Amino acid sequence: METKIIAAEIATAAGTTTVITTSKNPSNIFQIIEYSTQAEDAQSTVARPPHTVFLPSQTPVRDLKAWTAHTLHPSGTVIIDHGAHQVLSRRDSGGRLLPIGVVDVQGGFASGQAVRIAIRRPKPGTAVDTNTVLYTRQEDSLTRTSNSPSTPGTPALTATISMTTSIASLEPLSRSGSMSDISAASSGLETITEGGEIDSRPKPSSEGDDDKWEIIEVGRGLANYNWVEIRKVKGLKSSYITQLLGYADSEYVVENITIRIPPSIITH
């Protein structure tokens, strides 16, 4: 039954009415069509045949978004804040994520691969450590505070190169460095100081708090940068991408995002 529900979700998202009924008598579909055609007629005497109808979406997703959401296998996870979740849930957002809305990155992936879009919330009955470093965004700079609710990071992950259905061939995980550079980047990422300079000092680890957070997948998208690069620019304005990465293919870190779980049905 689960696969039938998934199929109905894909079809209705594309704007197609979907029916689930018994396969013992395929000719029942004609009775279902007749019933549906006359359902609005108060004088209709057609008996309702056993079936379940899934109504089509009033705003069908584009082919590329449908392909990303339902066909590609995601290679990693980009965790966003609740504000970004709210924005991406609106159709007029264009399904594009700026780095300022990124909280963390999990798993290794290359530019062009499909990724999960997720939010996180504290698990019930757990307390978040308030001594870890939180990077708070201001108008033109990034400042550091130590007495705020923490934003724990993800444990250092080693990139693994594997062929998936997301792309035909993987780009190098780093465009300007070796595999040793990538490993070093996961433990000492650069950030922007108040004066606008790059700060390369290692950041305190918050791995001990990882089990206190619940990760909830809310959608899928296509990454414009690899996992190391997105982690470097997370929480920053797009104007810092060139300064930190040495290039900027796009001001968005993830595009073609389809949000499947809106904020309204998630309790925080």
More confident residue, 122 or 45: 122
223 residue type, one letter: A
pLDDT at 165 over 60: no
- pLDDT tier for residue 68 given thresholds of 50, 70 and 90: low
10 Å CB burial of residue 105 (0-12, 13-18, 19+) is: buried
- pLDDT tier for residue 140 given thresholds of 50, 70 and 90: very low
More confident residue, 200 or 115: 115
- pLDDT tier for residue 143 given thresholds of 50, 70 and 90: very low
pLDDT at 188 over 80: no
Chain mean pLDDT for the chain = 72
pTM (whole model) above 0.85: no
Domains of the chain: 2-54 (no CATH), 63-265 (2.30.130.10)
For residue 181, how many other CB atoms are within 10 A of its CB?
A: 12
Q: What is the pLDDT of residues 16-54, one digit of tens each?
A: 888 888 888 888 888 888 888 877 666 667 788 888 888
% of the chain surpassing 90 pLDDT = 26
Whole-number Å distance between alpha carbons of 101 and 94: 15
So what's the pLDDT on residue 17?
Answer: 85
Handedness of CA 137, 138, 140, 142 (dihedral sign): negative
What's the start-to-end Cα distance of the chain, in Å?
30
Whole-number Å distance between alpha carbons of 195 and 143: 10
CA distances from residue 158 to 76, 184, 205, 249, 266 in whole angstroms, order as listed: 12, 10, 16, 24, 32
So what's the pLDDT on residue 225?
Answer: 97
